[in-house]
Amino acid sequence: MMATLYSFRRCPYAIRSRLALAAVDCTVELVEVDLKAKPDRMLELSPKGTVPVLHLEDGTVLEESLDIMMWALRTYEPLGWLGESAAELDEMMAAIEVNDRAFKHHLDRTKYAVRYEGADAEEHRALALELLATLSQRLTQSPYLWGQRPKIADWALLPFVRQFANIDRGRFDQEVDPALVGWLDRGLSSSLFVEVMKKGGRWAG
């Protein structure tokens, strides 16, 4: 039995999972999920009904994108994504937690303000930009968040920054530091990101 990944092409959580699996060249059966008609098998494996879900050959079910990334990287780890030390990994995971909690909160209320009662899109945009400024500070010192090459923090955050930038890319480019723009564009143009986002491709359903 081959491992199966239930994914949705544009979901940032699913994108980060596909990035890690593709980077380690892990062979999986990819199921592109119609969010309006989720597969029964996926719901059996993960009743919460959100992507990504990775069903491993031994029956293990991983329901969180970071768990999928860490499983792939700890199983194979060919590229040094987990950093130079345990302390560096802890720093990167802390940055990812800020992204997944605070930045995602403001991203959703900027992009989908009408879905949240009382949400002020401009207020949440400003708060999101404050969080992005902390990334920009790091990127003025090196091309990637933790050094000269991309690591787990870069790939885990990239899909969310992409989603925020795509709300209004012209405005984004004017409002953030050029170092962040350059980081985003390098990630989006990388062969790895292009591979996992191809329509009909191996990693995009």
Question: What's residue 27's pLDDT?
Answer: 87
Please, which residues bridge with residue 51 across strands?
none
The dihedral through the CA atoms of 85, 88, 92, 97 has a sign that is positive
pLDDT digits over 166-189, tens only? 999 999 999 999 999 999 999 999
What is the number of domains present in the chain? 2
Q: 157 and 95, same structural domain?
A: yes
Domain boundary among 27, 48, 78: 78
pLDDT digits over 53-75, tens only? 999 999 999 999 999 999 999 98
Is residue 205 domain-resident?
no
The CA distance from 197 to 200, in Å, is 9
Domain at 92, CATH number: 1.20.1050.10
pTM: 0.95
Question: What's residue 2's pLDDT?
Answer: 83
Domain boundary among 78, 105, 139: 78
Domain of residue 65, residue span: 4-78
Residue 37 contacts residue 88 (beta carbons within 8 Å): no
The CA distance from 24 to 22, in Å, is 5
Interacting residues of 176 by C-beta distance below 8 A, sequence separation 6+: 129, 132, 133, 136
pLDDT digits over 19-48, tens only? 999 999 888 999 999 999 999 999 999 999
